[in-house]
Amino acid sequence: MTQGKPDSIPNSRKVWTTLITNTKYLSGLLTLEYALRKVGSKYPLLVLYTETFEQEGHEALDNRGIHKKRIEYLLPKAHKDYQNDVRFYDCWSKLQPFSLFEFDRVVQLDSDMVVVQNMDELMDLQLNDETAVFAASHACVCNPYNKAHYPSNWHKENCAYTSYKPIALEDKTQAHHNHVVGPSSKTGLGICNGGLQVVNPSPKNYNKIVNALENPSLTSSYDFADQSLLSDVFEGRWLPLSYKYNALKTLRTIHRDIWSDDEVKNVHYIITPKPWDVRSLPDRDSHDDTGTFHFWFKLDDARLADEKSAGIYDGF
3-29 pLDDT, tens per residue? Answer: 778 999 999 999 999 999 999 999 999
Q: Looking at the domain assignment, is residue 3 inside a domain?
A: no
pLDDT digits (tens, 9 = 90+) for 142-170: 999 999 989 999 999 999 999 887 655 55
Range of the domain at 25: 14-309
pLDDT at residue 81, as a whole number: 63
Can you tell me whether residue 198 is helix, strand or coil? strand
**β-bridge partners, 268:** 113, 248
pLDDT digits (tens, 9 = 90+) for 241-291: 999 999 999 999 999 999 999 999 999 999 999 999 999 999 999 999 999
What total of structural domains would you count in the chain? 1
Q: Looking at the domain assignment, is residue 163 inside a domain?
A: yes
Contact 159, 141 (CB under 8 A): yes
Residue 190, pLDDT > 80, answer yes
**β-bridge partners, 16:** 45, 107
Contact 161, 140 (CB under 8 A): yes
Q: Looking at the domain assignment, is residue 19 inside a domain?
A: yes
Which whole number is the average pLDDT over 135-146?
95
- Give the type of residue at 248: L
pLDDT band per the 50, 70, 90 thresholds, residue 224: confident
Can you tell me whether residue 213 is helix, strand or coil? helix
pLDDT band per the 50, 70, 90 thresholds, residue 82: low
Contact 228, 178 (CB under 8 A): no
pLDDT over 90 percentage in the chain: 81
CA distances from 255 to 141, 159, 176, 193, 251 (A): 12, 10, 21, 16, 5
More confident residue, 118 or 219: 118
Q: Looking at the domain assignment, is residue 75 inside a domain?
A: yes
Which whole number is the average pLDDT over 289-309?
98
Q: How far apart are the two ends of the chain, measured CA to CA in Å?
A: 21
Which whole number is the average pLDDT over 103-107?
98
Spatial CB neighbours of 196, under 8 Å, sequence gap ≥ 6:
107, 108, 109, 110, 113, 136, 137, 241, 245, 246, 266, 268
pLDDT at residue 175, as a whole number: 46
Residue 84, pLDDT > 60, answer no
**β-bridge partners, 271:** none
What is d(CA 289, CA 85) in angstroms, rounded to the nearest whole number? 21
pLDDT at residue 35, as a whole number: 98
Residues 43, 38, 269, 183: is their CA dihedral positive or negative? positive
For 217, phi then psi, to 5°, come to -65, -25
CATH number at residue 69: 3.90.550.10
pLDDT at residue 176, as a whole number: 47
Q: Can you list the alpha helix ranges (DSSP code H) found in the chain? A: 26-38, 55-63, 88-91, 175-179, 203-213, 216-219, 225-233, 251-254, 275-278, 293-309
Q: Looking at the domain assignment, is residue 253 inside a domain?
A: yes
pTM greater than 0.75: yes
Contact 47, 29 (CB under 8 A): yes
What is d(CA 282, CA 299) in angstroms, rounded to the nearest whole number? 18
**β-bridge partners, 18:** 47
pLDDT at residue 248, as a whole number: 98
Q: Looking at the domain assignment, is residue 90 inside a domain?
A: yes
Q: Looking at the domain assignment, is residue 316 inside a domain?
A: no
pLDDT over 70 percentage in the chain: 92
Measured at the alpha carbon of residue 12, what is the angle toward residues 181 and 128, in degrees to the nearest 5?
35
CA distances from 11 to 85, 207, 263 (A): 37, 26, 31
Q: Looking at the domain assignment, is residue 5 inside a domain?
A: no
pLDDT at residue 80, as a whole number: 61
pLDDT at residue 298, as a whole number: 98
Which whole number is the average pLDDT over 84-109?
86
